[in-house]
A and B are shown apart, each in its own frame.
Chain A
Amino acid sequence: MRQSEAVTRFAAAEGKKRSRRKFRSGDKELTFLALPAVIYIFIFSYLTMFGVIIAFKNYRYDKGIWGSEWVGLDNFKFFFLTEKALIVTRNTVLYNVWFWIVTTFCALLVAILLNEISRKWSKYYQTVMFLPTFVSWVVIMYLAQIFLHHDYGFVNRLLGSIGGERVRWYLEPAYWPMILTLAHLWKSIGFSALVYYAGIVAIDPSYYEAARMDGATRFQMVRKITIPMLAPLITILLIMTIGSMFRGDFGLHFFVSGNSPLLYNTVDIIDTFVYRALSVSGDISMAAAVGLYQSLVGFVLVVAANYTVRKINEENSLW
């Protein structure tokens, strides 16, 4: 026993002495392990970051990035002078804020309720709620059609049978904030609830024991223990939301609305706008300018949000 201890200690001392040489070769080997990822990230992330100079050029395929002529801020000017800039920015931000509020509220509620019932049942419900997470927006586009189709759609049939007027859903912008909210909630509730549920399960049960001893009611426990204990998690998710405030869910806004031009003012977000500028109107440089605007503001927002949270409570910040 003692001998082996001595051996370990010796090995440790020896290791320390040799560590420099040994770990240097280890460093090299580890670097080789990371190399594929390093190269991948360089090409797909850093090269595209460098590609933002397209936003300051009049990009032409035949001339390439270097050959295209500089136009300064013209692409930005062109975008910001249209009313589109205001509309898509407003839509992106408002949808994000609204979705965050609705999803957080509902997911927290679901997670708290899940914790109130037996594990067996909560597992069944979770499985069901998880289903839409694994359905693509393309499939949801078809689901939306089934409900909203003008002639055969379920909702219109229902309206017809109770004597109401049929609605041309895909031509009526007014209904879309609500429809998109429902679609978003339907798809994301399972996953969000699970994140919060995992957070609740991780809370030390002795808090609840103590509270029960003191005669706390269920509601008091939720308000005084569960919610405060989940605050860090909620904050982290909020920072991430703020950071992606200028990014929306392309699939939701593009497919669920059927990409219907009459709805653009209500459902269009920066992502769908850029996609259309790129693929339909072929205005590459302006699309790049909008994309850069989106990335820059997103970057500033996430850094600012993290900074603010750090000021208030360092524990809750992302880094």
Chain B
Amino acid sequence: MNPTASTRSRTGNAVIHSVFLLLSIAIVAPFLLIVSVSLTDEKALTTFGYSFFPSRFSLIAYDFILRTPGVLLRAYGNTILITVTGTLLSLLITSMAAYTISRRDYKWRTALTIYIFFTMLFSGGLVPFYILMTQYLHLKDSLWAIILPGMLSPFYVLIMKGFMGKIPYELIESAKVDGAREWRIFFRMILPLSTPALATLGLFIGFNYWNEWFNALLFIDNDKLVPLQLLLVRIMNTLDFLRNNSEFIQSLGLDMSQLPNESMRMALVILVAGPMMFVFPFFQKYFVQGITVGSLKG
């Protein structure tokens, strides 16, 4: 309980709660709408449009997608691979760098700190990055093109450093007296002590990788390497293309009306975004902790 809440009047409380109720509705409504559309019969959609309650309930969209799950499963596989590998590598190099600059007795502490944080102020921009990735590192059509660019963020180093700086120096010193070398101190002592910060950052980084589309958009052409978000972009574009080119469809002999395309798209969105939506409330308390722990000012 915060000390001020008790003095609040009943009507005041009611007003605040109704404000939050409205806000909650405004935030949840779009999600409900998308679920409803994915569960509506395609014909009903074309006559009645999108609405919050399925005018005619149908699971055909999900049936269509899950009958040939190959594409979706592959995208899932890619995204999971990217998320897991990326998050682990990212946590490792972020915490290693953060620990080094959190050590007050490290000789190149200031130099290294400036080296890391200058990159927050100035960057070469998209084009040199694109050319580096494609012409020099040859990462076009490789999952590394999605993993590598987001691996180290100076901002996360800052948060991690804030956390590690609070670990008492006496601990490190006594480990040294016991003859431990720096690597051992870091992996055996500092990392286990930093679990809360690692968990928070890991979640942030994990969500970033799960939702990553920009680098995929730039670097992935190969159908086999498409992650979930890029799959959504592609499907939107493909359906737009088909819809705007009816001659093309006729020449192919496709009957577009057979395809539950509106509801199928929304069902796909649910299948892509859904898992994270369910997972995230369980982690929310870590986020709150993490933000309070990592002070903004270095």
Give me the interface of A with B, judged by CB distance under 8 Å. 11, 15, 22-24, 26-27, 29-34, 36-38, 40-41, 43-52, 54-55, 59, 61, 64-65, 110, 113, 115-119, 121, 125-132, 134-139, 141-143, 146-147, 149, 151-154, 156-157, 186, 189-190, 194-195, 198, 201-202, 205, 208-209, 212, 218, 221, 233, 236, 243, 250-251, 255, 271, 274-275, 278-279, 284, 287-288, 290-292, 294-296, 298-299, 302-303, 318-319
Contacts and interface: CB of A to CB of B under 8 A. Distances in A.
B214 interface: yes
Given A59-B131, A201-B2, A250-B214, 10 more contacts: A48-B123, A116-B13, A126-B288, A130-B280, A130-B287, A134-B280, A135-B211, A146-B37, A271-B126, A295-B124
Contacts of B207: 134
B23 A29 contact: no
Interface in B27-70: 27-28, 30-31, 33-34, 37, 45-46, 48-51
B232 A23 contact: no
A33 B128 contact: no
Contacts of B112: 34, 38
Given A30-B103, A37-B116, A319-B298, A198 B292 contact: yes
Contacts of A127: 281, 284
A64 B281 CA distance: 48
Interface stretch (B80-88, B192-200, B245-253, B269-277): B269-277
B24 interface: yes
A141 B123 CA distance: 28
B33 A154 contact: yes
Contacts, number: 287
B126 A27 contact: no
Interface in B242-298: 262, 265-266, 269, 272-273, 276-277, 280-281, 284, 287-288, 291-292, 296-298
Given A116-B5, A128-B27, A151 B49 contact: yes
Interface in B110-131: 112, 115-116, 119, 121-131
B8 interface: yes
Nearest to B5: A118
A94 B30 CA distance: 27
B151 interface: yes
A110 B22 CA distance: 12
- The residue in B2, B97, B176, B207 that gathers the most chain A C-beta atoms within 10 A of its C-beta is B2
B129 A208 contact: no
Nearest to B136: A47
B125 A294 contact: yes
A113 B77 CA distance: 42
B182 interface: yes
- The residue in A36, A55, A292 that gathers the most chain B C-beta atoms within 10 A of its C-beta is A36
A142 B265 CA distance: 8
- The residue in A48, A51, A296 that gathers the most chain B C-beta atoms within 10 A of its C-beta is A48
Contacts of A198: 288, 291-292
A250 B16 CA distance: 34
Contacts of A295: 122-125
Given A30-B100, A113-B20, A151-B49, A142 B127 contact: no
